[in-house]
Amino acid sequence: MKPLALFGGTFDPVHLGHLSVAWEASELLDAEVRLMPANVPPHRNAPTATPAQRVAMLNAALQGQGRLTLDTRELRREGPSYTIDTLRELRGELGDRPLILLLGADAFAGLPSWQSWRELFEYAHIGVLSRPGIDAAWSVDLALEILPRRVTDPRLLHELPAGKMIELAVTPLEISATRIRELLAEGRDPRYLLPCGLFDDPSVLAPYRAKDKR
């Protein structure tokens, strides 16, 4: 069976950077990819949009294709959305099926500050997606943890349930949700940084427009 790859994020809002790297990861890894919005992202301020609004945007973004799907399991959990809890739960469902946690290069560099970070490798492989405009060096702790785990052949991730790390050179798109929120708050229209489905209903982007904030 193909590996399951989980791409977690705040998705506040989901943008073309997310979709493009997730799509390419599914090709490079030959894996099923699920986008998984965090309920309460552990290391940042509360998102601008509510979980329901972020899910509505993800659903609109994923329309018309069958490769990327949505996993809303973290929204059913109260408190900070620690990835270790999610991976433990999923491992119970998957048996020995390979599981891959996808992280952008910036998120990966911050891994040593995550809850039980070394234990993540007991439950999943980690796929690191290149991201432009990010100057994120690895700490010594992270580099040492990765040394024996690093592989370059994606087929190796099909042979084991967890424990390896692979870097994926995806097409660089310097798009961030922060920039999109700034543009919308200024009353601008970041039409070609976002999936077109987000423009079908004008209320979808309302949480980010200054005049619509309550």
Cβ-based nearer residue to ligand ATP, 106 or 122: 106
- What single-letter amino acid sits at 79? G
Between residue 30 and residue 69, which ones bind ligand NCN under the rule CB under 6 A?
A: 38, 41-44
- What single-letter amino acid sits at 65? Q
Q: Among 75, 98, 70, 97, which Cα is nearest to 86's?
A: 75
H or E segment to which residue 105 belongs: helix 105-109
Between residue 102 and residue 121, which ones bind ligand ATP under the rule CB under 6 A?
A: 103-104, 106-107
* Residue 83 neighbours by CB under 8 Å, 6+ apart: 8, 101, 114, 115, 120
Q: Among 158, 154, 156, 88, which Cα is nearest to 123's?
A: 88
Task: Kindly state the tokens that stand for 137.
Answer: 């060096």
The Cα 55–Cα 13 span in angstroms is 9
Cβ-based nearer residue to ligand NCN, 172 or 202: 172
The Cα 37–Cα 49 span in angstroms is 12
Q: How far is the CB of 181 from ligand ATP (least distance, A)?
A: 7
**Choosing among ligand ATP, ligand NCN, none, which partner's interface includes residue 43 (Cβ < 5 to 8 Å by kind)?**
ligand NCN
Cβ-based nearer residue to ligand ATP, 1 or 213: 213
Cβ-based nearer residue to ligand NCN, 137 or 214: 137
Note the Cα 206 to chain centre separation in Å.
Answer: 23
Q: How far is the CB of 157 from ligand ATP (least distance, A)?
A: 18
From candidates 5, 12, 26, 83, binder to ligand ATP by CB under 6 A:
12
Between residue 97 and residue 136, which ones bind ligand NCN under the rule CB under 6 A?
A: 107, 114-115
Stretch that binds ligand NCN, among 59-67, 75-83, 141-149, 200-208 (CB under 6 A): 75-83
The Cα 164–Cα 153 span in angstroms is 11
The Cα 99–Cα 102 span in angstroms is 10
Between residue 6 and residue 35, which ones bind ligand NCN under the rule CB under 6 A?
A: 8-10
Cβ-based nearer residue to ligand NCN, 41 or 154: 41
From candidates 45, 152, 178, 203, binder to ligand ATP by CB under 6 A:
178
Residues in touch with ligand NCN (CB under 6 A): 8-10, 38, 41-44, 81-84, 107, 114-115
